[in-house]
């Protein structure tokens, strides 16, 4: 642990801006096989009517704040009828999406902790009371249920407020060019909201879950941030947190925690550690901050070395059961070829950084880059199939093709032709996350298939909009809308930073 | 509302003494048909072992604090294994008795609010943490369950403490006479603990439930207090709270609440309002505080007048479906005769007060007393049965005989003979609470059946001791040990002030 770096990161902790949101209406959740994930929100009554209603045992109401909120909720509660003669027992359920209000959390049986499901059971001994909930929630809908009052009194509610927090500065966002069409404007707005709600004292992956800094998410968040909010200190803070708290072998951890004091997780992901080089590269490109570049360059170099250590005698990333490489949440996805491509992608950026700082390792990096590229073409390219293959079983996945495109393993026109073939006959192993779709679209832009890129943005993020997204989601498969990597869609994060890149696409590629 | 009186009451609010208690051992609850209410506590492990154990999803432990506690709990919790990567969700269940730990609160289906059942579900976002629970609990046992942690970490626990609170001053309690036998010493100790744990900023009826000042409980608590802790200000505070916040017709409410500011409940119980006179009488006898007597005498007088208004042309309390009179928690108990007796009992004490203050109403009170006595003997005494009867159906209950004995409706020897007959052939309508048993035992002492009185103390409170009482209980029927007035014994209060009178009996009648 490099304490100086962690201290520097702590000094860069941003202040949070607060904005107040009030519920816009009351709704009722309704099961509807035709609605997204089987749940629809029906308007129930005006928010002004709430004050005049009373709620006894087993009665409930659901507030709709009209947009995604990340913050602290308070409300006023009083008794009606006889004096309060027993504690008021309330259950509050927060939902980013209707499914979280419609389904019973007790039925959740996924492998991620049920403690992420946002609910509280509370007792209020003395009414009237102003309840100020100490935990932060990520939600649009809030269901309030009177679990029990008593035979002699009921409860009344008013003054619900959410004080939302974010370190993003909305006023810094440049206007969109005039010719951006409405649907892309909508996606830009939702993407910005997604990024804003994930920009806290770090780039959180999701404010509902996991509420912490992952390097894979950071990379895309920072890229989107550089063309929108333009915050450089938060990205710098995050780089120093990763750099300051490596794993014992010097690899950058996949994620870090901020509290009670900064500490790293013990997860090493092959691709995520390598992305430290890309993150530093992007940060320097956006900020030209040479001091940070020079200070953190050795950390980037260490990641490249660790990445290269995994190459076998042929120069191909070893594929065995011992390693973890993320790439995407797809059951059965073989990670060898995409990992090889991620290595190449980062060696390219590392080489640039080495040249910028005048590092003596530049030559060695260039050699390794060439070796990895040659090995990819020699061993992972299947000329008969006209596609990259991965692993013993020579799996053809979208992920392998996309990452090889981003790694620029083939000349630009050959990559474009590869994608044309894939569009005619798609690989069986598909994509499940906006994170993977981001890389797919980025690859299309890179190889010049601009129209197809916008088509895919509209087909994927546009479909989320049609499915009711206030912020973009962690996981989304347009062909399997209840898809979850965790065993249940109720635990999915519906404001997830790695899905914020439509704003990056629009502001980087529209009109270019 | 008399604001000056309420303000005076507020100025008399006592400070609370704090004492720290730590768990003594860990236990496991076990179903056992032969144990009290079907549950037994088995020793599990030493409290020192807790620190070294870890608890994952679904695992739990139960702390035994070794005695009844009323206070605020704190503990330390940390993670073991990988860094905490999800909130820790805990469920804490507080039990005065094993049944509250053994049974599932979700199965509770009684008519009192389930919100009295002492449990909390909490999320701890950041470990390690010191958890300081803001609510007060009344318990001996605390079950801690890890509802969920995550696949990567488990939870560890230590430093459980309960800061118990009471306004009672233990050091003021006089020692028992040397010749008090051990079993009565034990009952005296448990009764004192019961009273102490109910003495908060008012005489609470029970610190688990209902946590407020009822006048029926106050009367017995104050009587026990005068011969033990000797606190006069708390009794005075309670008298002023009742006096200062009468119901619209001037009747004293059955109970009052302290927070958020003092206010009275809307319950009028015929007997409870009348007891204001007895409470003031007892307070004056104990303190000789003439100022309070003179100031509150008009309130007592008002209660007597309201009580007398219910007499019919014959001078008998009207029995119809419109009224509420407590007497005891016995299904089907007719309240007419006991209410008549409670009226007489309070008229007797009111007459004494009237004479003390030189009130012009003394003569009128004496007349009403005689009228009520005459009517009781003329219309409620059944010479053939040799017992008092109550209501249209001429019900013979313990309650009617006991209260007529306390009302001194018959000469002392005739009452004694009545009880002798009842012991040979008990009435079908029995007694279910220590409150009613108190009056029964008091009546036996009053009519000179001293041996029988001690026998009944030993049979009733002694049986509670044999059944494991740390403090005496709200409801107890030795023939139906799961008896509850509320539909489930888990919601019963197991530290309930109206059961604290063994200390009063021992200190008032032993050796006399």
For the stretch A358-370, pLDDT in tens is: 999 999 999 999 9
Mean confidence (pLDDT) of chain B:
97
Q: Looking at beta carbons, which residues of chain A come within 8 Å of B260? A: 126-128
The confidence score (pLDDT) of residue A307 equals 98
Q: How many residues does chain A have?
A: 512
> How far apart (Å, rounded) are the C-alpha atoms in residues A167 and A201?
7
Residue-wise pLDDT for B220-230, tens only, equals: 999 999 999 99
A147 min Cα distance to partner chain B (Å): 8
B206 min Cα distance to partner chain A (Å): 13
Secondary structure class of A475 (helix, strand, coil): coil
Pairing relationship of beta strands B153-166 and B17-21 according to DSSP bridges? antiparallel
A98 min Cα distance to partner chain B (Å): 23
B424 min Cα distance to partner chain A (Å): 42
Q: In this structure, are residues B9 and B262 in contact, taking their beta carbons and an 8 Å threshold?
A: yes
Task: Identify the CA nearest to A330 among candidates A134, A483, A124, A156.
Answer: A483
B316 min Cα distance to partner chain A (Å): 31
Secondary structure class of B390 (helix, strand, coil): strand
- Partner residue facing B86 (CB), from A87, A115, A260: A115
Q: Looking at beta carbons, which residues of chain B come within 8 Å of A126? A: 259-260
Taking residue B488's Cβ as centre, other Cβ atoms within 10 Å add up to 19
The confidence score (pLDDT) of residue A170 equals 96
The confidence score (pLDDT) of residue B320 equals 87
Q: Which residues are CB-neighbours of A406 under 8 A, at least 6 positions away?
A: A341, A345, A439, A442, A443, A446
Q: Taking 90 as the threshold, does the pLDDT of residue B503 lie above it? A: yes
The confidence score (pLDDT) of residue A201 equals 98
Task: Identify the CA nearest to A461 among candidates A225, A204, A190, A260.
Answer: A190
Q: Which residues are CB-neighbours of A184 under 8 A, at least 6 positions away?
A: A454, A457, A458, A502, A506, A510
> How far apart (Å, rounded) are the C-alpha atoms in residues A11 and A363?
36
Residue-wise pLDDT for A118-161, tens only, equals: 999 999 999 999 999 999 999 999 999 999 999 999 999 999 99
Window 229-258 of A: residues touching B by CB (8 A cutoff) are 257
CA distances to A243, A249, A277, B250 from A299, rounded to whole Å, are 6, 12, 8, 81
Task: Identify the CA nearest to B84 among candidates A116, A392, A271, A298.
Answer: A116
Q: Which residues are CB-neighbours of A96 under 8 A, at least 6 positions away?
A: A68, A138, A139, A140, A141, A208, A470, A471, A493, A494, A495
Tell if the CB–CB gap between A113 and B150 is shorter than 8 Å: yes
Residue-wise pLDDT for B237-293, tens only, equals: 999 999 999 999 999 999 999 999 999 999 999 999 999 999 999 999 999 999 999
Residue-wise pLDDT for B336-348, tens only, equals: 999 999 999 999 9
Q: Does A374 touch chain B (CB under 8 A)?
A: no
Average pLDDT over residues A208-226: 98
Residue-wise pLDDT for A426-449, tens only, equals: 999 999 999 999 999 999 999 999
Q: Does A266 touch chain B (CB under 8 A)?
A: yes
Task: Identify the CA nearest to A189 among candidates A462, A382, A460, A482.
Answer: A462
Calculate what percentage of chain B has a pLDDT beyond 70: 100
Residue-wise pLDDT for B339-376, tens only, equals: 999 999 999 999 999 999 999 999 999 999 999 999 99
The confidence score (pLDDT) of residue A330 equals 95
Q: In this structure, are residues A380 and A400 in contact, taking their beta carbons and an 8 Å threshold?
A: yes
Around A188, how many Cα atoms within 13 Å sit in the side-chain half-sphere? 23
Around A392, how many Cα atoms within 13 Å sit in the side-chain half-sphere? 4
Q: Looking at beta carbons, which residues of chain A come within 8 Å of B264? A: 83
Residue-wise pLDDT for A411-430, tens only, equals: 999 999 999 999 999 999 99
- Partner residue facing B83 (CB), from A120, A135, A257: A257
Question: For the domain A170-509, what is the CATH code?
Answer: 1.50.10.10
> How far apart (Å, rounded) are the C-alpha atoms in residues B55 and B127?
14
- Partner residue facing B126 (CB), from A87, A147, A259: A259
Average pLDDT over residues B145-173: 98
> How far apart (Å, rounded) are the C-alpha atoms in residues B420 and B440?
13
Mutate which: A77, A78, A82, A85, vs B, most B CBs within 10 A:
A85
> How far apart (Å, rounded) are the C-alpha atoms in residues A124 and A122?
7
Average pLDDT over residues A2-9: 98
Tell if the CB–CB gap between A147 and B115 is shorter than 8 Å: yes
A217 min Cα distance to partner chain B (Å): 16
Q: Taking 90 as the threshold, does the pLDDT of residue B190 lie above it? A: yes
Rg (CA), chain A: 25
Q: Taking 90 as the threshold, does the pLDDT of residue B189 lie above it? A: yes
Residue B106 is given by DSSP the state G
Q: Looking at beta carbons, which residues of chain B come within 8 Å of A247? A: none
Task: Identify the CA nearest to B150 among candidates B67, B81, B210, B208.
Answer: B81
Tell if the CB–CB gap between A89 and B259 is shorter than 8 Å: no
Q: Is omega for the bond preceding B210 within 30 degrees of 0, making it cis? A: yes
Q: Taking 80 as the threshold, does the pLDDT of residue A512 lie above it? A: no
The confidence score (pLDDT) of residue B322 equals 85
pLDDT band of residue A511 (cuts 50, 70, 90) is confident
Question: B266 to chain A: nearest residue by CA?
Answer: A82
Tell if the CB–CB gap between A114 and B148 is shorter than 8 Å: yes
Maximum CA extent, chain A:
83
pLDDT band of residue B512 (cuts 50, 70, 90) is confident
Question: B210 to chain A: nearest residue by CA?
Answer: A86
Q: In this structure, are residues B200 and B165 in contact, taking their beta carbons and an 8 Å threshold?
A: yes
Average pLDDT over residues B18-46: 97
> How far apart (Å, rounded) are the C-alpha atoms in residues A262 and A17?
22
Q: Looking at beta carbons, which residues of chain B come within 8 Å of A128? A: 260
Residue-wise pLDDT for B314-334, tens only, equals: 999 999 888 999 999 999 999
DSSP result, A26-37: EEEEEE-TTSGG
> How far apart (Å, rounded) are the C-alpha atoms in residues A475 and B447?
81
Window 300-339 of A: residues touching B by CB (8 A cutoff) are none
The confidence score (pLDDT) of residue A321 equals 84
Average pLDDT over residues A405-414: 98
Q: Is A511 left (phi over 0), alpha (psi -120 to 50) or beta?
A: left
Torsions phi, psi for B481 (to 5 deg): -75, -10
The confidence score (pLDDT) of residue A322 equals 85
- Fold match between domain A17-166 and domain A170-509: no
Q: Looking at beta carbons, which residues of chain B come within 8 Å of A86? A: 112-113, 115-116, 209-210
Helices B362-375 and B336-357, axial angle in degrees (round to 10)? 160
Tell if the CB–CB gap between B114 and A149 is shorter than 8 Å: no
Task: Identify the CA nearest to A401 among candidates A419, A384, A383, A385.
Answer: A419
Burial A357-378 (b: 16+ CB within 10 A, else e): bebebbebbbebbebbbebbee
Q: Does B84 touch chain A (CB under 8 A)?
A: yes
> How far apart (Å, rounded) are the C-alpha atoms in residues A114 and A209?
11
- Burial class from Cβ neighbours inside 10 Å (0-12, 13-18, 19+) for residue B478 reads middle
The confidence score (pLDDT) of residue B244 equals 98
- Partner residue facing A85 (CB), from B87, B114, B265: B265
Tell if the CB–CB gap between A114 and B263 is shorter than 8 Å: no
Helices A290-308 and A233-244, axial angle in degrees (round to 10)? 40
Taking residue B13's Cβ as centre, other Cβ atoms within 10 Å add up to 16
Tell if the CB–CB gap between B113 and A265 is shorter than 8 Å: no
B118 min Cα distance to partner chain A (Å): 10
| Assigned architecture for domain B17-166 | Sandwich (2.60)
Break chain B into its structural domains and give their ranges. 17-166, 170-509
**A164 bridge partner residues:** A19, A71
CA distances to A154, A242, B335, B383, B480 from B423, rounded to whole Å, are 47, 83, 22, 18, 19
- Partner residue facing B86 (CB), from A113, A125, A263: A113
Residue-wise pLDDT for A469-481, tens only, equals: 999 999 999 999 9
Tell if the CB–CB gap between B114 and A148 is shorter than 8 Å: yes
The confidence score (pLDDT) of residue B75 equals 98
- Partner residue facing A83 (CB), from B86, B116, B257: B257
- Partner residue facing B114 (CB), from A89, A116, A120: A89
- Edge-to-edge order in the sheet of strand A263-264: A213-214, A255-257, A263-264
Task: Identify the CA nearest to B94 among candidates B58, B124, B136.
Answer: B136
DSSP result, A191-256: HHHHHHHHBSSSB-S-TTTT-SEEHHHHHHHHHHHHTTT---HHHHHHHHHHHHS--TTSPPPSEE
The confidence score (pLDDT) of residue A320 equals 87
Q: In this structure, are residues A277 and A353 in contact, taking their beta carbons and an 8 Å threshold?
A: yes
Task: Identify the CA nearest to A334 among candidates A388, A382, A378, A386.
Answer: A388
> How far apart (Å, rounded) are the C-alpha atoms in residues A10 and B452?
77
DSSP result, B174-211: PPPPTT--HHHHHHHHHHHHHHHHHBSSSB-S-TTTT-
The confidence score (pLDDT) of residue B11 equals 98
Average pLDDT over residues B432-448: 98
Window 57-76 of A: residues touching B by CB (8 A cutoff) are 57
Question: B83 to chain A: nearest residue by CA?
Answer: A265
Q: Which residues are CB-neighbours of B95 under 8 A, at least 6 positions away?
A: B101, B118, B139, B140, B141, B142, B143
> How far apart (Å, rounded) are the C-alpha atoms in residues A272 and A342?
9
B173 min Cα distance to partner chain A (Å): 32
Q: Looking at beta carbons, which residues of chain B come within 8 Å of A84? A: 257
Q: Which residues are CB-neighbours of B81 under 8 A, at least 6 positions away?
A: B54, B152, B153, B154
Window 93-122 of A: residues touching B by CB (8 A cutoff) are 111-116, 120-121
Residue-wise pLDDT for B385-419, tens only, equals: 999 999 999 999 999 999 999 999 999 999 999 99
Torsions phi, psi for B365 (to 5 deg): -65, -40
B409 min Cα distance to partner chain A (Å): 37
Q: In this structure, are residues B449 and B405 in contact, taking their beta carbons and an 8 Å threshold?
A: no
């Amino acid at each position: 642990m490099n304490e100086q770096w962690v201290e520097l990161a702590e000094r860069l902790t941003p202040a949070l801006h607060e904005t107040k949101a009030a519920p816009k209406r009351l709704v009722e959740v309704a099961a509807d096989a035709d609605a997204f994930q089987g749940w629809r929100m029906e308007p129930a009554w005006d928010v002004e009517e709430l004050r005049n209603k009373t709620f006894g045992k087993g009665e409930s109401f659901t507030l709709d704040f009209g947009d995604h909120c990340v913050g602290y909720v308070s409300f006023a509660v009083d008794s009606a009828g006889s004096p309060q003669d027993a504690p008021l027992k309330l259950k509050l359920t927060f939902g980013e999406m209707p499914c979280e209000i419609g389904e019973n959390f007790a039925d959740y049986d996924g492998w991620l902790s049920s403690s992420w499901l946002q609910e509280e059971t509370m007792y209020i001994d003395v009414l009237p009371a102003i309840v100020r909930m100490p935990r932060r929630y990520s939600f649009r809908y809030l269901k309030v249920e009177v679990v029990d009052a008593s035979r002699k009194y009921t409860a009344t509610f008013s003054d619900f407020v959410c004080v939302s927090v974010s370190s993003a500065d909305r006023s810094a966002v440049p206007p969109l060019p005039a010719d951006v069409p409405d649907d892309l404007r909508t996606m830009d707005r939702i993407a910005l909201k997604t990024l804003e709600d994930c920009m806290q004292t770090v780039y959180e992956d999701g404010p509902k879950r996991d509420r912490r800094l992952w390097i894979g998410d950071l990379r895309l968040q920072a890229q989107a941030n550089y063309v929108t909010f333009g915050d450089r200190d938060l990205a710098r803070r995050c780089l120093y947190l990763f750099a300051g708290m490596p794993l014992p072998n010097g690899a950058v951890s996949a994620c870090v925690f901020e509290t009670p004091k900064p500490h790293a997780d013990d997860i090493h992901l092959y691709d995520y550690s390598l992305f430290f080089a890309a993150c530093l590269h992007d940060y320097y490109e956006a900020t030209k901050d040479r001091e940070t570049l020079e200070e953190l360059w050795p950390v980037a170099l260490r990641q490249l070395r660790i990445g290269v250590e995994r190459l076998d005698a042929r120069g191909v990333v070893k594929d065995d059961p011992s390693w973890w490489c993320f790439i995407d949440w797809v059951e059965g996805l073989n990670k060898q070829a995409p990992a090889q491509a991620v290595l190449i992608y980062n060696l390219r950026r590392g080489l640039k950084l080495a040249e910028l700082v005048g590092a003596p390792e530049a030559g060695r990096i260039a050699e390794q880059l060439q070796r990895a590229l040659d090995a990819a073409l020699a061993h992972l390219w299947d000329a008969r199939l006209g596609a990259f293959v991965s692993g013993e079983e020579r799996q053809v996945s979208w992920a392998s093709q996309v990452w090889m495109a981003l790694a620029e393993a083939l000349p630009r026109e050959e990559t474009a032709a590869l994608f044309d073939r894939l569009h005619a006959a798609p690989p069986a192993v598909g994509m499940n996350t906006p994170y993977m779709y981001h890389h797919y679209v980025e690859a299309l832009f890179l190889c010049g298939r601009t129209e197809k890129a916008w088509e895919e943005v509209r087909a994927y993020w546009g479909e989320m909009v049609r499915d009711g997204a206030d912020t973009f989601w962690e996981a989304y498969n347009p062909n399997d809308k209840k898809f979850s990597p965790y065993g249940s869609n109720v635990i999915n994060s519906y404001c997830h930073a790695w899905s914020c890149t439509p704003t990056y696409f629009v502001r980087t590629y529209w009109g270019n």
